[in-house]
Amino acid sequence: MPGKVKVLLALPMAPELRERIDGVSKRIEVISLSRGQRLAWREGRPLWAGYQEPPPSGEETAKEARERLDALLAEGEVILSNPIVPGDILERAPMLKWLQLTSAGVDRLIDAPVVRSFSVEVTTASGIHAVPISEFVIGAMLAFAKGFPGALRAQAEGRWSPYLPEELEGKTVGVLGIGAIGSRVADLAHAFGARVLAVRRSISSRQKGDGRVSEFLPPADLPYFLGESDYVVVAVPLTEESRHMIGEPELRSMKPTAILINIARGAVIDEEALTRALKEGWIAGAALDVFEHEPLPPDSELWNMPNVLLTPHVSGGTPRYMERAVDLFCDNLHRYLEGRTLRNVVDPERGY
C-alpha cells in the first residue's frame, strides 16, 4: 500500500480548520509547521496580520526549526502557504507536486522557479475575497458620496460645517476587471441603482450587458470607460500587461468629479501620476488599499491629502478569511486525490 500524501501547513491554523483538512481523506497526513518552522519557512519576512501568528512558546531553537523544516520539506507533496515561499523550494522539496496559496494574486511569485516548473502545480485562492473586498469598495463609494472624510475632519476640529451629500443611484460605476471581485462589485452597485460598465480582457468589441452590467467593454475602450465613470474600481491582477495601466493619459481622461478606487495592486496605477492628479484636481479623490511600495513610505504626499482614503492593504481580510481559504483548499485537495483538475491553477504566461 502506498504511503500517505504528506500535506504541510505553512500557516498558523485554528484547530477547527485543521480538523476540516484532516477530514478530507484517510489517504493524507497533515503536518502543521511549528511557529519556529514557519519563521524558518518565511526566512524572517513578516506574516500578514490576518493570520494571527501565536506568540513564542519556548519550542525548538532556530537551528533545530530549520533542520526539522528541511526534513519535512523533503517528504512534502502538498503545501498550503501564503505567497511568502522560499526561493529554493524546488531543491528543498523534491517530492512537491502542488502548492496552494492563500492569496488571489501571484505577482510576487510569477517569475519564481516553482511557478515556472512543470513538476509543480501552483493554485491561488482567487474568489475567496469577493465578499469582503466588494463590501470595502461599496463602503469607499458611500464614504465619498456622503462626505464622511470631510465630516470626520470637521468633527475632530469641533466645526459645524453643513454640506450636500450625493447619492449612488444614477451614478456610473466602472469596474476594471470583471472577475470574482469585480462581478460582486457590479452586483452591489447595481443594487444601489447605479449604471455599471465593465472592462473585460477577453472581448474585442462592446457587448450588451447581463442585467447588472449595462455594457461589457474591451480594453481598447478604456478611454470611453474612464470618461463615463463616476467611480472607477480597479480590480485587475498585476501582470506586465496591466502594470501602470492607469497613468497620466488615463487619469486625465476621467471626470474631474470621479473617484478612483484601487483594491488590486498598487503598480496597476502610476502612483506619481495619481499624486499629481489628486493635487491638481484631474479627479476628485481616491480610495487606495494598495500601493506601489508597501508599507507606504512616510514621506508620501498621499498621507496628508484630504481627498484620499488610505488603508494598509486590508480590504480582503476579515475573521472569515482563513475559513474561506481552507474551504477552497479542501475542495482542491479532494480534486487532487481524485486526479481531477484543480481550481485556480496559475498560468505563468498570463500572469495569474
- The per-residue pLDDT for range 322-342, each reduced to its tens digit, is 999 999 999 999 999 999 999
Q: For residue range 207-264, what is the model confidence (pLDDT) as tens digits?
A: 999 999 999 999 999 999 999 999 999 999 999 999 999 999 999 999 999 999 999 9
Please confirm, yes or no, whether 313 is among the known catalytic residues: yes
Please confirm, yes or no, whether 190 is among the known catalytic residues: no
DSSP-assigned beta bridge partners for residue 207: 216
Predicted confidence (pLDDT) at residue 317 exceeds the cutoff of 60: yes
Which entry of 38, 129, 195, 265 is annotated as an active-site residue?
265
Length of the chain: 352
100, 44, 32: which is closest to 69 by C-alpha? 32
Which runs of consecutive H residues, i.e. helices, occur in 23-112? 35-42, 62-73, 89-92
pLDDT of residue 210: 94
Q: For residue range 83-126, what is the model confidence (pLDDT) as tens digits?
A: 999 999 999 999 999 999 999 989 989 889 999 998 999 999 99
- Are 5-128+318-338 and 130-310 in the same CATH fold? yes
Q: Is 348 exposed, middle or buried (0-12, 13-18, 19+ CB in 10 A)?
A: middle
Q: Is 171 exposed, middle or buried (0-12, 13-18, 19+ CB in 10 A)?
A: buried
Which entry of 169, 280, 294, 301 is annotated as an active-site residue?
294
Side chain identity, residue 307: N
C-beta neighbour count of 178 within 10 angstroms = 22
Q: Could you tell me the pLDDT band of residue 51, with boundaries at 50, 70 and 90?
A: low
30: helix, strand or coil: strand
CB of 115 closer than 8 Å to CB of 348: yes
Cell digits of residue 130:
469577493
For domain 5-128+318-338, which CATH number applies: 3.40.1190.20, 3.40.50.620, 3.40.50.720, 2.40.50.140? Answer: 3.40.50.720
Lowest mean pLDDT among 36-40, 130-134, 166-170, 298-302: 36-40
CATH code: domain 130-310 is: 3.40.50.720
81: helix, strand or coil: strand
pLDDT of residue 45: 79
Please confirm, yes or no, whether 343 is among the known catalytic residues: no
Cell digits of residue 218:
474591451
Domain ranges of the chain: 5-128+318-338, 130-310
pTM over the 0.85 mark: yes
345, 352, 326, 335: which is closest to 17 by C-alpha? 326
Mean pLDDT of the chain: 95
C-alpha to C-alpha distance for 243 and 106, rounded to whole angstroms: 14
Residues in contact with 86: Cβ distance below 8 Å, sequence separation at least 6, in sequence order:
41, 43, 92
**Residue 275 main-chain phi, psi, to 5 deg:** -60, -45
pLDDT of residue 1: 44
Integer angstrom CA distances of residue 77 from 28, 74, 81, 196, 295: 10, 9, 13, 44, 34
